[in-house]
Amino acid sequence: MRRRTLLTGLAGFAGGLTAVATTPALAHGPRRVLHVRPGGSVQAAVDAVTGPGWTIVVHPGTYREVVDIPVEKGELTLRGASRDPRAAVVVFARANGTPRPEGGTYGTAGSATFTSAAPGLTVRDLTLANDWLRADHPDYTGTQAVAAYVTGDRSHFDNVRFLAHQDTLFADTTALDAFDRQYYRHCHIEGDVDFVFGRARAVFDTCHFRTLRRDVAFTPKGMVFAPATARANPYGFLALRGRITSGAEDAAYKIARPWVPSYETTAWPSLVVRDTWIGPGIDAAAPYTDMRETYPWQTMRFREYANSGPGAVVSVPENRPQLTAAEAGEHSRRTYLGDWRPYAGR
């Protein structure tokens, strides 16, 4: 997929808006609201936040920049001015192997367009994208290019689009011994290799996962999830009431493979996919695979429950571990998120 395709339908929102006031951020009264318009900078607005409870409103346009929300900017809301998440786009092009000006490369986490370590973050109605392309850099070996790297506890994303290829959404934790919680609702997440990965305790509620077409000869073409859950954490990723669709040929993708990082070899990846429609792009006969033979997926906490669609057909039962009804009751928004209930009233 070329960069132009990745952002199809987005650039038009920026056109004709450059004449709007270009002040990076304007504060309005005691409501503690900052507005960012084309010509301005989302990062400048983040930098201007002086305490908890601020809202940054991003007006329609394309903002080509890197945004980093540090831990001290907690309880921040970042939202698009339009309810259409395609209207306001934060995008950058950088990969793991991209050289740093001071030497070395950015690495996977450093490639992210959007990074947040802030607790209590809420993001709504935006697109976060990394439009770096393998085809433009055939000499790179580090091709991970992250759209969003999220670590803060109580991070809430609602109606947000995450666009990239490899490692689109890095849902991680602030520390190896932290069980930081994340909640994604009505989000669109697309990519090809391990495009939802990390250590977080994360709930994906009514989200759409879209696998991209890849012009490669091998299969699988990629995997949706690559959890790296800590062994001490009882819960990892929970995907419920969503959809998994594909732009690739039938059976080209796997649902998941376990990621056991070299810096945490005791990890015990956990993934539950339940009440989800799974399209034909997923290999129904063998929907899981290994990242390394040392850590076979069969020894991990991978389970399904009550899924539907052609990619959910259980033709080889040993390849698709299922929860019982009683076990399924333990895998809910409430059990994963505890006393934090961002879904209340919905």
* Catalytic (active-site) positions: 194
Distance CA 284, CA 214 (A): 19
Distance CA 320, CA 298 (A): 10
The amino acid at residue 32 is: R
Distance CA 253, CA 280 (A): 9
Number of DSSP helices (H) and strands (E) in the chain, helices first: 6, 26
| CA triple 269-264-229, angle to 5 deg | 25
Beta strands 26-27 and 33-36, pairing class: antiparallel
Locate 249 and state its tokens.
Answer: 């040929």
User: Dihedral sign, CA of 62, 149, 163, 275?
Assistant: negative
Alpha helices in the chain (DSSP H): 3-6, 11-14, 42-48, 107-110, 325-328, 333-337
